[in-house]
Structure 1
Amino acid sequence: MEFNGILNIDKPEGITSHTAVSRVRRLLGVKKAGHSGTLDPLATGVLPIMVGTAVKVSDWLTGHNKGYLAGIRLGIETDSEDITGKVIAAYNGTLPSFDDFKRAAESFVGKVQQIPPMYSAIKKDGRKLVDLARKGVTIERSPREIEIYSINAIQDGTELFLEVACSKGTYIRTLCADIGKCLGCGAVMSSLRRTKVGNFTAAASIPLDTLLNMSTEDIHGLIMPAESIFSDMEIVTLPPFFERLFKNGAPVFVHKLGRSDIIEGVLYRIYGSEGFFALGEAAVIDGLDAIKVKKFF
């Protein structure tokens, strides 16, 4: 039985994303497998795992927007910006009110510059920042533009949470720390659950432990086709002649397909006699609207 597609896994706390992928790879007996973006051991939630030929869509899946539910603790700062790190500062004053916390959090909505944390998988001169951080080394990092689409501040008894929708590359630990700096009291991330990656949601995910106890036949029925991550793109179906041309790398002129609704710069799902096989990008070539190859799958 072949396994090619995407499994929407709910990663448990206490293991790395790499460990989760390794367990799925061994379970299914596949050579190729990968994930859509690292979740720290502290974090739980949505971890789409691509197996078999679906690893080809990894670059596209990691670029999807994400959703998180994060616990945040005011009044302390750590070297890792989360609760697992070494405390480097503690605030002795009166902590801000919930309303002040809410206003500070909401001020981060929009496009903002964020400095990646030292405790991250980003590489500098071939070395991961986290490896340097564990040796006590801190280096200068350039800020990166991210976008926070929405933040909902939540109070549950004495605990505070942030419900965040954001772009790829956003570090929620750093967001918590930055909110703490904005309030003047410091803050760390105390918990993290990823609730969404693109169209993959926590509600539809499968706990990793549950998956490991399922039969391969049942697992096969849970695997989603790789093309499912492109469900928001329109379909262009090529007749056999143009399919052959396209598969050889040649652009296809839109007027020959009888289409007048193709928009320059937009990506399309390309289908042929055996279904989905590529992404195409609309472009103007020699003054005519055409679709050129973007990526084969």
Structure 2
Amino acid sequence: MSRLNAKGRDINGVVLLDKDIGLSSNAALQKVKRLFFAKKAGHTGSLDPLASGILPICLGQATKVAQFLLDDDKRYFVRGKLGENTDTLDCEGEVIQTQGYKHLSESAIKKAIMSFVGDILQIPPMYSALKKDGQPLYKLARQGIEIERPARPVTIHNIDFISYEDGILTLDVSCSKGTYIRSLIQGIGDQLGCGAHVIELRRTGFAHIDISETIKFSELEALASDDYQQLDAHIFPSENMLPTIESVTLDEKQAEDIRFGRAVFGNRQGSLHKVKLFDQNQVFLGIGELSEDGMIQPKRLFV
């Protein structure tokens, strides 16, 4: 049961939003926050305004699990246009270079694509939310300022070639966190010697989440009512968003200690790793860290 006051409702959990094209991630977040009249909200895994697809909106204490969701893999449907490089690496930017592409065969294109599968180094685009001295890179880029960005290791798990027609390349990409699909498409174009930029991007997978599990904002709006019951039915428990993290059930004394920030002995040993903590009544307490000596340190608590 959520609590209601003038500043909003104390509700906890995750809304799996299918973000529409044209909205920034923050704009989408604010719309959902207002609709649910949530006291606190945040999103994880930003999407460009050009992109649509899965954007987890964390309400209340669920904002504490956002960082753990960010560590997981992603999947994207993407269409790229060969023959043109843009300053933003997508169709919202200015074309800065054009080169011929009609001589390219499908087999040559597929070969170039497959050379990007595996562990690669990728230079983040200037038009990104990464920060330099506290300033987002995209703000510097809009001022005509370009700074050196070190290449970062990312992993492209798989690229499914869907189609190629009239210079338009369509792919399905599975990748690690931190991967920029715009940089990937430009990289493929540059390797082919013709350049390329993104014209359509949709996030279809996020950790264990599939696009089929999401809901559009227009659908949420249709469920709005004074009692919020139909809206709240689309809030997933925070712990359900972390299926790959081991669960540990604590007894009453251990749960009390954890709530006060004290470490407890977990009656198990192994390598250092994160665990989901539940009390004796299976109430989710938050995230802990299990050390090799069996001690559980509280890290992010929901209390």
Establish whether TM, by shorter chain, passes 0.5: yes
Match of 2:149 among 134, 137, 141: 141
Aligned to 1:192: 201
Range 263-272 or range 243-252, more displaced: 243-252
Structure 1 letter corresponding to 2:248: V
- Per the TM alignment, residue 93 of structure 1 is displaced from its structure 2 partner at its CA by 5.2
Aligned to 1:160: 169
- For residues 116 and 124 of structure 1, what CA distance do their matches in structure 2 show? 12
- For residues 95 and 240 of structure 1, what CA distance do their matches in structure 2 show? 71
Aligned to 2:44: 36
Matches within 5 A, 1:196-275: 196-215=205-224, 216-255=228-267, 260=268, 262-274=269-281, 275=283
Aligned to 1:47: 55
Match of 1:182 among 177, 183, 191: 191
- Per the TM alignment, residue 220 of structure 1 is displaced from its structure 2 partner at its CA by 0.4
- Per the TM alignment, residue 293 of structure 1 is displaced from its structure 2 partner at its CA by 2.2
Distance 1:183 1:210, change over 3 A: same
Q: Please report the RMSD computed on the Cα atoms of aligned residues, expressed in angstroms.
A: 1.6
Report the secondary structure of 2:223's partner residue: coil
TM-score between the two structures when normalised by the length of structure 1: 0.92
Contact 2:80 2:197 in 1 (8 A): yes
Contact 1:74 1:95 in 2 (8 A): no
In the alignment, structure 1 residue 292 sits paired with structure 2 residue 297: yes
- Per the TM alignment, residue 61 of structure 1 is displaced from its structure 2 partner at its CA by 1.7
Range 197-206 or range 5-14, more displaced: 197-206
Structure 1 letter corresponding to 2:236: M
Contact 2:69 2:242 in 1 (8 A): no
Aligned to 1:131: 139
- Per the TM alignment, residue 201 of structure 1 is displaced from its structure 2 partner at its CA by 1.6
- CA offsets 1:167-213 (integer angstroms, 9 cap, x no match): 11111001000111111111111110000111222111101111122
- CA offsets 1:44-90 (integer angstroms, 9 cap, x no match): 11111111121111211222211100101111111111112111111
Aligned length: 289
- Per the TM alignment, residue 157 of structure 1 is displaced from its structure 2 partner at its CA by 4.4
Contact 1:8 1:49 in 2 (8 A): yes
Unaligned runs of 5+ in 2: 3-10
Aligned to 1:116: 124
In the alignment, structure 1 residue 58 sits paired with structure 2 residue 66: yes
Give % identity. Answer: 39
TM-score between the two structures when normalised by the length of structure 2: 0.90
- For residues 132 and 68 of structure 2, what CA distance do their matches in structure 1 show? 23
- For residues 92 and 282 of structure 1, what CA distance do their matches in structure 2 show? 56
Range 212-221 or range 77-86, more displaced: 212-221
Match of 1:80 among 59, 66, 88: 88
Report the secondary structure of 1:49's partner residue: strand
